Chains A and B, each alone.
Chain A
Amino acid sequence: MGLLTPSGGLLFWMTLAFAVVFLILAKFAFPIILGSVTKRKEFIDSSLDAAKVAEQKVADLQLQSEQIIADAEKEKVAILKEAATSRDRIVADASVQAQQEASRIIAEGRRQAEAEKEAILANARGEVAMLAVQMATKILRGNLSASEAQQALQENLADEIRES
């Protein structure tokens, strides 16, 4: 039974010691520890929330940048296409122009050549006419002097014409 009877002295010391320890710890230890644990928990929670938001933002930005890249790609393709078309058109235009120019030059050359030929021919005709007149003059002169002489003259003239 001795073990089951609480002794008064021990009750006194236990009550005193436990009450003092409880009051000290309840005032100076546990509130600080629990408070800082709670604060840290809140901090971690808010940090996680912030991280989640940031992650969302990053994902949005990623999406946006992908969109931008896709747009740029599309634009690039369009520009290249346009460039190709305009290049082809320019080349085609240039070749057409060159063709025209070439044919114009050819025609011009041909026309000039024709004109020159005409001029040469006209000149030649004039020369021939002059020669014919001179021949006629000489023939007439020879006829007038002698028939042999006339004959010689005739042959001379013919040679002269042949030579020219």
Chain B
Amino acid sequence: MILSRTYRILIVMLLALALPGASSFCAHAEDDAVTSAAIQPVSPVQTDSVSAHTGLEMPSDSAARADAAPMVAGIAPEAEPFNPKKMVMEHLADSYDWHITTFKGRHISIPLPVIVKSSTGWHVFMSNRITGGGTYKGLYIAKEGSHEGKIVEDVDGDQRRPIDISLTKTACGILVVCAIMLVLFLTAARAYKKRNEVDYCPKGLAGLLEWLIDSILDSVIKPCVGENYLKFAPYLLTAFFFIFCSNLLGLVPFFPGGANITGNIAVTLVLAVATFLAVNLFGTKEYYKEIFWPDVPVFLKAIPLMPVIEFIGIFTKPFALMMRLFANIMAGHSIILSISCIIFATAHLGAAVNGSMTAISVLFMVFMNCLELLVAFLQAYVFTMLSSVFIGLAQVKHEE
């Protein structure tokens, strides 16, 4: 296909716009390398990726350096080659500080409070005391082993996890989402309260939220829960908007966003437990009768086959909710990160390969981000819908 001149210019501009964004991932990767190796010489991968950022043409001397890259790597084994898996995994996992970028070899990150109860009692301090590899009152971040990346202490020559309720990156992300939700919904609610008129139709923020709330209420909650849907609407709406906001914020690549909130199993576990409680605490008598004494031939109940299956079903439903949300969001994040890693993984292969792979990577990233935007809504919608269905199933009335 022959692209017209305008199209070519557009694509070059797009790349120029997209690449600075990608460079933050590069910085992240560099940061990881720095944290794992105390002294870090300039890695050839980074030089090349930097020159790849400046434009699609690469000067001949950097091409020469690219050719020399394997040699340099051979001479200096401490110069770690770019490790996409490590970078992706480190992004997906939680961290004690909120890394923003690395500028000229210096990490710019927001230190977050660490709250731990070690063998010496409670300790509260900022994470910058230990993220650089330091030790604070016997506490440090494990570099390897089963507690890799977590705060540990050495007790009797043993690495042990203290009780750790640090405000990690994900925890801060949760608080950001909660703050956004509180501001949004309390502002909207005030707009209604201020004009206590029956025919008041809100505009702006309240109007937007009303549209969202009403569409979720009418298309999901009302049909799935059944007649007393208003009792469960606050929980379901909170869950929906929490997941939706977290998903959207997770797609924003810079500071208040970027945290992998709903792609963290602890978060989805709490959400699933909340649904579990909503289902089972408010279940009707018929719901429990259907579980423990279902309407099946007696021999299926005498050997308690059906009750056991039904009882397991109580737990598999929220478990599926937990895994679905977690896996979807985590997969989305890993795919976007992996695609961005293509740029840096091909950096030592020369200008032509790296340039074309960069273009492909950016195209895929644009596509994936669009897809993830859809997924962000879809997963929140699916979670809310299934929660509504489970709640609705627990609201059965005896049918005669």
Q: How many interface residues does B have (CB within 8 Å)?
A: 53
Task: Give chain A residues whose Cβ lies under 8 Å from the Cβ of B115.
Answer: 9
Task: Give chain A residues whose Cβ lies under 8 Å from the Cβ of B340.
Answer: none
Which residues 140-164 of B have a CB within 8 angstroms of A? 148-150, 163-164
7 A-B pairs closest in CB distance? A6-B266, A26-B234, A29-B185, A10-B266, A13-B171, A9-B165, A29-B189
Task: Give chain B residues whose Cβ lies under 8 Å from the Cβ of A144.
Answer: none
- Stretch among A15-23, A115-123, A129-137 lining the B interface: A15-23
Task: Give chain B residues whose Cβ lies under 8 Å from the Cβ of A39.
Answer: 198
State in angstroms the CA–CA spacing of A32 and B167 once bound together: 32
Subset of 5 A-B contacts with CB under 8 Å? A11-B270, A18-B174, A18-B238, A30-B185, A34-B230
On whether the beta carbons of A25 and B185 are closer than 8 Å, the reply is yes
**Residues 357-376 of chain B: 1 if any A CB is under 8 Å from the residue's CB, otherwise 0?**
00000000000000000000
**Closest beta carbon of chain B to A13's beta carbon, Å:** 4
Cβ-based interface call for A164 (8 A): no
On whether the beta carbons of B238 and A17 are closer than 8 Å, the reply is no
Cβ-based interface call for B192 (8 A): yes
Cβ-based interface call for A14 (8 A): yes
Nearest residue, chain A, Cβ from B188: A33
State in angstroms the CA–CA spacing of A43 and B199 once bound together: 7
Contacts A3-B92, A10-B264, A22-B238 supplied; 11 other A-B pairs, CB < 8 Å: A2-B148, A3-B93, A8-B163, A10-B267, A13-B171, A14-B266, A22-B274, A26-B238, A29-B185, A34-B213, A37-B213
**Closest beta carbon of chain A to B191's beta carbon, Å:** 9
Q: How many interface residues does A have (CB within 8 Å)?
A: 34
**Closest beta carbon of chain B to A78's beta carbon, Å:** 52
On whether the beta carbons of B165 and A36 are closer than 8 Å, the reply is no
Task: Give chain B residues whose Cβ lies under 8 Å from the Cβ of A25.
Answer: 181-182, 185-186, 234, 237-238
**Closest beta carbon of chain A to B205's beta carbon, Å:** 12
Cβ-based interface call for B168 (8 A): yes
Task: Give chain B residues whose Cβ lies under 8 Å from the Cβ of A33.
Answer: 185, 188-189, 192, 206, 209-210, 213
On whether the beta carbons of A17 and B269 are closer than 8 Å, the reply is no
Cβ-based interface call for A126 (8 A): no
Which residues 126-152 of A have a CB within 8 angstroms of B? none
Cβ-based interface call for A125 (8 A): no
Nearest residue, chain A, Cβ from B323: A4
Task: Give chain A residues whose Cβ lies under 8 Å from the Cβ of B382.
Answer: none
Task: Give chain A residues whose Cβ lies under 8 Å from the Cβ of B293.
Answer: none
On whether the beta carbons of A13 and B186 are closer than 8 Å, the reply is no
Knowing A2-B93, A29-B186, say if A9 contacts B238 (CB, 8 Å). Answer: no
Task: Give chain B residues whose Cβ lies under 8 Å from the Cβ of A30.
Answer: 185, 189, 213, 233-234, 237-238
Task: Give chain B residues whose Cβ lies under 8 Å from the Cβ of A5.
Answer: 265
On whether the beta carbons of A21 and B181 are closer than 8 Å, the reply is yes
**Closest beta carbon of chain A to B177's beta carbon, Å:** 8
**Residues 173-199 of chain B: 1 if any A CB is under 8 Å from the residue's CB, otherwise 0?**
011001001100110110011000011
Knowing A25-B181, A33-B210, A40-B200, say if A18 contacts B242 (CB, 8 Å). Answer: yes
